[in-house]
Amino acid sequence: MKCFLGLFSVLLLLFSCGGNKPSEQKNVMREDTTVVKDIPADLPQLSEAEPPVAADGVFDDFAFNFMSNRRFQSERILFPLKYVVDGKETQIEMDKWTFDPLYSKKEIYTMIFDSKKSMKNQKDPDLAHVVVEWIYLTKNRVKQYVFDKTEGRWMMTSLIDEQLKENENSDFLNFYKQFSRDRSYQIKHIQSPFSLILQDPDTYKPISGVGDPVQWQDFAPELPKGVITNINYGQKYTNSKQRLLMVAASDGAMSSIITFKKVRGQWMVTRLENN
């Protein structure tokens, strides 16, 4: 089905020919972060500026400082840090921890939500528990950085490394692994037509319409493969048949939200929104 809405059809043509698709964004994901090794002798201490008091407001403000300030990071990890690998618990001492920039060095990062409503949790100052995930699709493993807010201070309280099948998003992640790599598989899992929302290049206002599965590549962002990230701000995935995958550039240059819904037992793309 190839139907477009009035003026929207013209914009679709402009976008497909004008290269609005953010495919030029490099999708480089680091395979892993080494956490157990000697701390560098030249670790900056007093030379780094003190984070503002607001760093303990919403989690994202805290995370920015945690990922960019070595001294702040070392002060905000509960040492000895609980380190759990496949259910077996050990501890990481402070002198064995290496500064970890998490996803701050990535040009593209992803987040998985269960609904539009849960996306608002990012700005909730009362949030007290967040889990940052590195998802290794090729290795079928997930590393979780667990953060808790106690007495007004965010602290990293544990590090968990487990098999992907143990993750509450395992069903969707196994689907996404193939969806991100196989174009023919993608086409079969895109609703016809799917809802499409683009930003007017002149007014910067959203324009709504529909697209056909064969046009998916013209408007979809480049999907990261192999390794993706997620930040769980309290999303409840277990009983939800919907996933909203946010694909965003770290510099804020672009972001896309892809809505997947479980239809007759299969994950299907129902909506694409480019900002």
Alpha-carbon span 92 to 83, nearest angstrom: 7
Alpha-carbon span 260 to 251, nearest angstrom: 25
Q: What is the pLDDT of residue 30?
A: 40
- 54 pLDDT tier (thresholds 50, 70, 90): low
Which among 3-7, 84-88, 239-243 has the top mean pLDDT? Answer: 84-88
pLDDT in tens, 88-138: 999 999 999 999 999 998 899 999 999 999 999 999 999 999 999 999 999
Q: Which amino acid is at 210?
A: V
Query: Pairing between strand 108-113 and 206-211?
Result: unpaired
Selection from 210, 139, 222 nearest residue 183 by Cα: 222
Q: What is the pLDDT of residue 13?
A: 39
Alpha-carbon span 42 to 57, nearest angstrom: 30
Give yes or no for residue 23 having a pLDDT over 60.
Answer: no
Determine contact, residues 77/87, Cβ cutoff 8 Å: no
pLDDT in tens, 224-247: 999 999 999 999 898 889 999 999
Alpha-carbon span 175 to 272, nearest angstrom: 18
Its pTM stands at 0.81
Q: What is the pLDDT of residue 260?
A: 98
Q: What is the pLDDT of residue 4?
A: 40
Determine contact, residues 230/169, Cβ cutoff 8 Å: yes
Alpha-carbon span 145 to 7, nearest angstrom: 46
Selection from 272, 217, 11, 244 nearest residue 112 by Cα: 244
Average pLDDT, the chain: 85
Give yes or no for residue 35 having a pLDDT over 90.
Answer: no
pLDDT in tens, 186-217: 999 999 999 999 988 888 888 999 999 999 99
